[in-house]
């Protein structure tokens, strides 16, 4: 005697709605044209969620994903970008003098702008270097920017990175059109 499950499967199969039990072959994810590497992240100035812990890998993951996505949009097809981030300092600071109740509150002031130190290499499809260099990315006027979404804890960092990608690779994009 067939079980209810196999009867249901037979009925669904007869009308073309049978569940597929065999795993579909995995389609390989296309390799990204942008590679972001954090060099010695344990020594970064400040990538913390609170004043009590070490640098947060989750925040670095978010920054890395953002840089890869933005980089993919900023460089033309057939071009490869490698970024080595050597330091990160998030906007704001923890001010322990405010007391333990503020241990997880990042105080945002104009004297604490976000900062990134990085090295990059942009190569063409044959591996020839198009552009390379070291950059110290910051904006002392970061608080005057209009950022969206306003509730993103990395909004200031993403905004200055977005501007850097636009300005750094504008000429490469113009040349490819």
- If pLDDT is split at 50, 70 and 90, which confidence band does 27 have? low
Res 31 pLDDT > 90? no
What average pLDDT does the chain have?
80
- If pLDDT is split at 50, 70 and 90, which confidence band does 30 have? low
- If pLDDT is split at 50, 70 and 90, which confidence band does 71 have? very high
- If pLDDT is split at 50, 70 and 90, which confidence band does 57 have? confident
Q: What percent of the chain has pLDDT over 90?
A: 45
The number of beta carbons lying within 10 Å of the beta carbon of residue 68 is 16
Write the pLDDT tens digit of every residue in 115-129: 999 999 999 999 999
Residue 4 or 138, more confident? 138
Tell me what pLDDT residue 23 has. 47
Tell me what pLDDT residue 83 has. 98
**Domain 32-176, classified CATH 3.40.50, yes or no:** yes
d(CA 166, CA 160): 10
Question: Which tokens is 99 given?
Answer: 């007391």
- If pLDDT is split at 50, 70 and 90, which confidence band does 96 have? low
Residue 86: CB partners within 8 Å, gap ≥ 6? 39, 40, 117, 118, 119
d(CA 155, CA 62): 11
d(CA 12, CA 7): 9
Neighbour-count burial for 2-40, b at 16+ CB within 10 Å, e otherwise = eeeeeeebeeeeeeeeeeeeeeeeeeeeeeebbbbebee
d(CA 13, CA 122): 52
Q: What is the mean pLDDT of residues 18-35?
A: 61
Question: With contact defined as beta carbons under 8 Å apart, do 135 and 117 qualify?
Answer: yes
Q: Is 81 helix (H, G, I), strand (E, B) or coil?
A: strand
Using the 8-state DSSP alphabet, how is residue 101 labeled? G
Q: What is the mean pLDDT of residues 152-165?
A: 92
C-alpha separations of 96 from 104, 153, 154, 158 in Å: 10, 20, 21, 26
d(CA 48, CA 112): 14
């Amino acid at each position: 005697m067939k079980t209810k499950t196999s009867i249901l499967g037979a009925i669904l199969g007869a009308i073309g709605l049978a569940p597929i039990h065999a795993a579909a072959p995995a389609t390989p994810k296309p390799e990204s044209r942008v590679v972001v590497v954090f060099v010695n992240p344990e020594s970064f100035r400040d990538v913390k969620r609170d004043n009590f812990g070490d640098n947060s890998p989750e925040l670095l993951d978010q920054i890395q994903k953002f840089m890869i996505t933005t980089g993919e949009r900023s460089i033309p097809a057939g071009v490869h970008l490698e970024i080595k981030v050597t330091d990160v300092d998030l906007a704001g600071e923890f001010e322990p003098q405010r007391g333990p109740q503020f241990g997880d509150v990042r105080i945002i002031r104009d004297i604490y702008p976000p900062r990134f130190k990085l090295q990059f290499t942009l190569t063409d499809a044959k591996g020839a270097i198009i552009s390379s260099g070291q950059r110290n990315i910051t904006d002392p006027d970061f608080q005057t920017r209009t950022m969206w979404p306003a509730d993103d804890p990395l909004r200031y960092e993403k905004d200055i990175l977005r501007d850097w990608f636009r300005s750094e690779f504008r000429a490469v994009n113009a040349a490819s059109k």
